[in-house]
Amino acid sequence: MSECLTLKKSNCKNCYKCIRHCPVKAIRFSGNQAHIIGNECILCGQCFVVCPQNAKQIVAETEKVKVLIQSGAPVYASIAPSFIANYPGVGIIGIDRALKKLGFAGAEETAVGASIVKTEYEKMLKEEKRDIVISSCCHSVNLLIQKYYPAMLPFLANILSPMQAHCKLIKEKDPEAKTVFIGPCVSKKDEAQHYEGIVDAVLTFEELTEWLKEEKIELEQDMDNNENSRARFFPTTGGILKTMAQDMPGYTYLAIDGTENCMAALKELEQGHIHKAFIEMSACVGSCVGGPVMEKYNRSPIADYKAVSEYAGKKDFDVPLPESSKLRKNFEPIELRNGIPSEEEIADILKKMGKNRKEDELNCGSCGYNTCREKAIAIYHGKADISMCLPYLKEKAESFSDAIVSNTPNALIVVNEALEVQLVNPSARKILNIRYASDILGDQVVRILNPKPFIRVLETGKSIRNSRTFLAEYNRYVEQTIIYDTTYHMLLCIMRDVTEEESERQKRETQRTKTVETADKVVDKQMRIVQEIASLLGETAAETKIALTKLKESISDE
């Protein structure tokens, strides 16, 4: 499966948009990158459609088709009937002309194969008298049933898809021919690879458009009025039913589109209460005109349906009908490799996610999974990790930051641009003699501090750092830092209580002053004694005076 969709390295982090939109959760995360699990994927293409980083890419087969053309074999294109919605105003004649310029032997409508398939559906209902029949045109629906609802396989019509029926018809007419299907679908690439020998390559409309641009070929606005073209309705919701007789007595004919709706219907069928029904199922909302390539680049539900309905005729294509045996294929269940964790293992994972009680399971879906339990099972299977839980990360971050704010010895005060106190931590309450945080929260900062520094920082945008301030009202000295956070429009005030440091500094200053005064007195006294001795000895006291003066200066500098 992964051969049809690839991933490129991208800024894929904490988004989980693809897993939220993946109906079968066939995506795992590793190294902050999403990875498609091929064994579980049904190739609906929703991850390709919704990825905001364009990290999911459909594998291109343009070069493969060019090689087929260069081989010399006649290469025919089978064009999905949704082409009229993707290329408005361009009929099959215009498509045929353009593709011949690219080297194709010709282009035909897949709707011809659709006409064969719908006739076989009618035949199956009449001759085999099945209870429930599910259409098998959509390969993503087929994969969904094969992988997730294998008990419903007996209901899945074991008939070729229109793509296969048409390409088989082309090869019967020309055994040397190679066939290329062109449409809006990802899963058709897998269908072509799985059932070898029928379809040789698959292009998306996007690939065709790029190829035409490279060759500077423009599509001609050339419409035909073929009344024998009712099967052109196939790419719309209920399009298969529009082409069928719907004349089996007692049978209900209904159309279901969208993978989630198909899954709900399959669960309902599993209960065994539904009987005698023909169900048209399409994985894409709106059927093929809502295919992933159409949806990502050209999603216009009303205009697309209108284009298809106006192009479709009222009668079936005039086409020879093959024997039923040539239109049959078998569907085998595809076993998933995931084991089922025990209740104890799920409970242990939930605890690691911070879900210790049932009420802790918020089931918010932010991780992409519908419930915390589903997420825990995904973790068990290695598809997800604990950090994908937004409430868990939020609580963890808040708990960690709360621990820092509550236990730091520094006072922290946060005020908004209106100078209203938004946060005050325990250290700040101690310094400012605030009994409860609620006593000041929401009030003006002027109630507890001089607002002038806050106003200055707010007006200039320049922070104040380590400004020593005496809070006279609290008889405390603090080193005050005020920072303006322009992102969150908040002012953060950090205060370090330096009252004891200031007291110690003042004590040291007093002692230094006293020491200098004492030294002065000693020097003066010594000078008098020296002068008296010098006068008696008849010697100068200059050198002694210099030495004592230096001693005094030394004491003063300390």
For the stretch 426-477, pLDDT in tens is 999 999 999 998 999 999 999 999 999 999 999 999 999 999 999 999 999 9
Q: Count CB atoms within 10 A of the CB of residue 553.
A: 11
The overall average pLDDT reported for the chain is: 88
* 263-308 confidence digits (pLDDT tens): 999 999 999 999 999 999 999 999 999 999 886 777 789 999 999 9
pLDDT confidence of residue 392: 63
Give residue for tokens 């605890």. 351
Length reported for the chain: 558
Are the CB atoms for 63 and 217 separated by under 8 Å?
no
Mean pLDDT of 147-176: 97
* Nearest 10 degrees: Cα torsion 151, 156, 160, 161: -110
Mean pLDDT of 131-136: 97
Question: Which residue did the predictor score with more confidence, 1 or 444?
Answer: 444
Are the CB atoms for 183 and 110 separated by under 8 Å?
yes
Look at domain 408-497 and name its CATH class: alpha beta
C-alpha 430/C-alpha 343 separation (Å) is: 49
Q: Is the pLDDT of residue 540 over 60?
A: no
Question: Which residue did the predictor score with more confidence, 13 or 210?
Answer: 210
Which residue intervals of 156-246 are DSSP H helices? 162-173, 187-194, 205-214, 239-243
Q: Give backbone dihedrals phi and psi of 330, rounded to 5 degrees, phi first.
A: -105, 145
pLDDT confidence of residue 391: 65
Tell me the CA end-to-end span of the chain in Å, nearest whole number: 81
* 512-531 confidence digits (pLDDT tens): 888 777 777 877 787 777 67
Architecture of domain 1-59 in CATH?
Answer: 2-Layer Sandwich (3.30)
Look at domain 340-404 and name its CATH class: mainly alpha
List C-alpha distances in Å: 54 to 11, 49, 59, 144: 10, 8, 13, 25
